[in-house]
Copies of this chain bind each other. A is one copy, B any other.
Amino acid sequence: MKRCLLLFAGTVSIGLSAAALAQGAKPEEEIRYRQSALNVMGRSFGTLWAMSQGKMAFNAQLAADSAAIVEMMSKLPWNSFGPGTDKGAPTKADAKIWSEMDKFKDKADKMKTEVGKLAQAARSGDEAAIKAATGDTGKACKSCHDDYRLKEFRQ
């Protein structure tokens, strides 16, 4: 199991290295990439959210699978908010992200921490723990969206 966790940790850590590789990417590619990772994350989180709200029957395997996607995706977008990626394609990322990067990264880190707990709960199959961790993750998502995600796309 230790090896398994290491494998998982390795899988999930890739975000940083894989994203770092793309620092030569064009701003529009970075914007597209971070949107893509968050889009994939959002769909799987939506499944967990629906279960936590009783809008979908709880399914432990689906919860674990969804949380694994959320966890992997949660590592990927952040290096694509680098210098010069504040514009270049339609984006809902508030421009103040780039003047408040430390605060923004703190919010991202908070979310990743909650997602880590969610994924752990999901692997355990404990319905109550999964639902609670889904709620905590949702709050962390919302906190960042409230501050840094615009309601409409900007150029």
Measured CB to CB, the residues of A under 8 A from B are 1, 3-4, 7-8, 10-11, 13-14, 17-18, 21-22, 32-33, 35-37, 39-40, 43-44, 47, 56, 61-62, 64-66, 68-69, 72-73, 76, 123
The one of B17, B37, B47 that contacts A21, using a Cβ cutoff of 8 Å = B47
Q: Specify how many copies of this chain sit in the oligomer.
A: 2
Please give, as numbers and ranges, the residues of chain B lying within 8 Å of A64 by CB-CB distance.
10-11, 14
- Closest CB in chain B relative to A95 CB, distance in Å: 23
CA distance A39 to B38 in the complex (A): 12
Q: Are B33's CB and A39's CB within 8 A?
A: yes
Q: Are B65's CB and A18's CB within 8 A?
A: yes
For the A-B complex with A7-B8, A32-B39, A36-B37 known, give 7 more contacts whose Cβ atoms are closer than 8 Å: A1-B3, A11-B64, A11-B65, A18-B47, A18-B62, A40-B76, A69-B72
Q: Are A40's CB and B36's CB within 8 A?
A: yes
The one of B3, B32, B40, B65 that contacts A73, using a Cβ cutoff of 8 Å = B40
The one of B7, B47, B61 that contacts A4, using a Cβ cutoff of 8 Å = B7
